[in-house]
Amino acid sequence: MALRESIIEAASLRLRPILMTTGATVLGTLPLAMAVGAGAESRQQIGWVIVGGMLLGTLLTLFVIPTIYSIFGKRNFVEVKPDYEN
């Protein structure tokens, strides 16, 4: 199987679990991000950081990492073996 087809197949297999995990985490963190009352400022800040980090991490996982892998996967790396005898 070619590199491109392998990347597409792997991405399609992992799409649902990645989106479900991200969705559950973001929805679970939204009450923290929208907190009101005493001490709400610090809870809101950490909540929005978690939500933003999860969304950014999901975008990187779904688009950027497969793209980088396809770029560097085309290169043939030569494995260097030692020249000594046993």
CA distances from 40 to 7, 9, 23, 32, 52 (A): 43, 44, 23, 8, 18
Q: What is the pLDDT of residue 76?
A: 63
Q: What is the pLDDT of residues 13-35, one digit of tens each?
A: 999 999 999 999 999 999 999 99
Task: Say what the pTM is.
Answer: 0.72
Of the pLDDT bands very low, low, confident and very high (cuts 50, 70, 90), residue 73 is confident
Q: What is the pLDDT of residue 85?
A: 66
Q: What is the pLDDT of residue 78?
A: 58
Residue 48 carries which side chain, given as an amino acid letter? W
